[in-house]
Chain A
């Protein structure tokens, strides 16, 4: 990744483009050469065939024109000066030259025997054919052959290469056009920021990119939810820390101008605030650990009884003494219980009951109080917020630090936190932390 950032390699589009173009052009070049060779061979065959056919036609004429020999007497037949592509010699079977075309040599072609078939010398290609008492040799300069072959080969090869080049250009355009959605996709990813709540899909979305867009959209939503959750947690933390801190600083400010007689009371309140602040810090650290690996072990429920002591609320934990052995992370559960008792105290309860039960492989810690409780509407909102936290780990502003912490501890134990009214007359508040009597996955 770092290498990619420091020294960018060519893009997929560029690589695909160049490789495709190179392949097409190399293919076109090979095709052009092959076409040239093939056409050259064909042209040679055609020209040889033409030479042969010409000879066959002329020899028949020569046989029936008995006066040709007398007319020519070994010389060229009279004709106006012109360029001859094909020349011929009419020879006696003894080899003597009887007649010739005007551009044919005055002597027999050297190294051309009187034998039927094709013969090539350094300068000409000759076709020899026997007639009645004569031989006809029809020749064409080799340079003519080669020129015709080269012309045909270049024409064919050039056409093939030109078609290949045109195909490469069209292919390049098609590749660029077809890869454009990937570029748009990249720009969509690039545009994702902390405030992005949903992806804007292009109007023409390629089928192959639909799963990627969907996956990215879901990822953005999950990240947003996580971000919201973290912001809410930060707001919780800020709120929970700021209030006792404000109490502490305000008490110290007042204490600095308080008569000595009132000082102990002020300092006592400042100390209470400092202790509460320490408790909040503990709770925040516990919450942070609850989202990490937990350390479960068996412990006596009675050990939790001491957690709620030393508060301005009467905490009845006598049931815990006989509740037996529980399984879980004692430290996390203790902090959860302490925070739920603190919640009860802060919300006007005078007494709280802490109970533990075990049934059907599950364990339950219950903290109920005699406070004013909450309205049915607020209770429903709390329950919905707890469900959101349980399912998606989404911290909700509806929950205070105490409930958020207890729910996080329950979640870390693969359990859940539920809330309800402690009594049927909707008075009092009850929080129930329920988790399996089994080691959570991964622990």
Chain B
């Protein structure tokens, strides 16, 4: 998943980013609302948002996000030290999908991100299923007709992005951003190389190429 992390504490932000990356997510980390506002022009699967930021309130920005069109449906998880009941209520009422009080276990954070994404996507199962393919975000594994497939971290991230938007086109730049999160430099044919590898492992007819637009998991 591609995640936007807005946290001004450098030590915490660095650890959260490192952990979530190790879980196969692509994390864009920003330390203030000004930066987050600019970054939010892009697509994110979930937003992790601190309440108290140097240039304003995270909750106020969340209200802005929910009022706009771009991130009305994007799952938002508040990460905050404010543990009072009224704070939780205010955060959730402002549009947060979940509320995690600091300090927290990173494993719990990852689980809540998965749960929130499932809930927002209307899923009841913890796995993503599409045709013969099944993807388990918790175990970070994929299987075809019950047989486990050996995927690299980049391949897994690409497959997850396609499965979360099954039937819809996922743009090439977005896939490039995902790959950038893992590999840094992205050559012009990197996406094609990874898609070709996925086709070899999953089957030739699983992923469609939509010329000039991107890729789509076959319905």
Contact = CB atoms under 8 A, between A and B. Distances in A.
Given A235-B82, A238-B81, A348-B54, A243 B12 contact: yes
Nearest to B18: A254
Contacts of A243: 9, 12, 81, 102
B105 interface: yes
Given A238-B83, A239-B82, A253-B15, A245 B106 contact: no
Nearest to A347: B54
A345 to B, nearest CB: 10
Contacts of A269: 10-11, 14-15
Nearest to B53: A347
A380 to B, nearest CB: 15
Contacts, number: 78
Nearest to B104: A246
Contacts of B15: 247, 250-251, 253-254, 266, 269
Nearest to A255: B15
B18 A242 contact: no
B69 interface: no
A51 B150 CA distance: 143
A249 B81 CA distance: 14
Interface in B150-169: none
Contacts of A250: 11-12, 15-16, 19, 103, 106
Nearest to A378: B56
B14 A251 contact: yes
B66 interface: no
Contacts of A248: 11, 103
Contacts of B18: 254, 258
Interface of B: 8-12, 14-16, 18-19, 22, 32, 52, 54-55, 81-84, 101-106
Given A247-B9, A251-B14, A276-B11, 20 more contacts: A238-B82, A238-B83, A239-B82, A240-B81, A242-B83, A243-B9, A244-B11, A245-B103, A246-B12, A246-B81, A249-B103, A250-B103, A251-B11, A251-B15, A253-B15, A253-B105, A254-B15, A254-B18, A257-B22, A269-B11
18 contacts: A238-B81, A243-B12, A243-B102, A244-B9, A246-B9, A246-B102, A247-B10, A247-B12, A249-B103, A249-B105, A250-B11, A251-B15, A253-B106, A254-B15, A254-B18, A254-B106, A258-B18, A270-B11
